[in-house]
Copies of this chain bind each other. A is one copy, B any other.
Amino acid sequence: MTNLFSDLSTEVPEELIEVLAEGQHVRIERIVSTGQASPADFWYDQVQAEFVVVLKGEAKLLLEGEDAPIHMRPGDHVTIPAHRRHRVEWTTPDEPTVWLVVFFGE
């Protein structure tokens, strides 16, 4: 057994991505952000759908075509269809933001 809230170092420059479980059509990751955001004009465009929940910290997720980002706080979850372009506008610099992400074929 491991814990989603363990090993939350804040002294790393990059986001930490850890694969927690994986099947042929699914990948479950923990991502820890410490103030990072997507680069300017960068959009994720993924072949799989993505279920994403923030479990600690705060983030702003922008879906292409929306006027404003979704402000996500602990427990908030969104399912992003495959090829729905999106970007992380902001994660709080005040504490680590812990995301649980499930990528899956539709």
The residue among A49, A70, A104, A105 with the most chain B CB atoms within 10 A of its own CB is: A104
Question: How many chain copies?
Answer: 2
**Count, chain A residues at interface, CB 8 A:** 31
Task: Decide yes or no whether A76 CB sits under 8 A from chain B.
Answer: yes
The answer to the question of A44 belonging to the interface, with a C-beta cut-off of 8 Å to chain B, is no
A5 to B72, CA, bound (A): 13
Q: Which one of B53, B74, B104 contacts A104 once the chains associate, using CB atoms below 8 Å?
A: B104
Is A43 an interface residue when CB atoms closer than 8 A count as contact? no
Measured in the bound complex, the distance between the Cα atoms of B25 and A23 in whole Å is 9
Q: Is the CB of B78 within 8 A of A20?
A: no
Closest residue to A71 on the B side, CB-wise? B1
Q: Does A26 contact B (CB under 8 A)?
A: yes
Query: Is the CB of A28 closer than 8 A to any CB of chain B?
Result: yes
A84 within 8 A of B: no
Cβ-defined contact, B20 with A51, below 8 A: yes
CB < 8 Å: which of B74, B77, B102 contacts A102?
Answer: B102
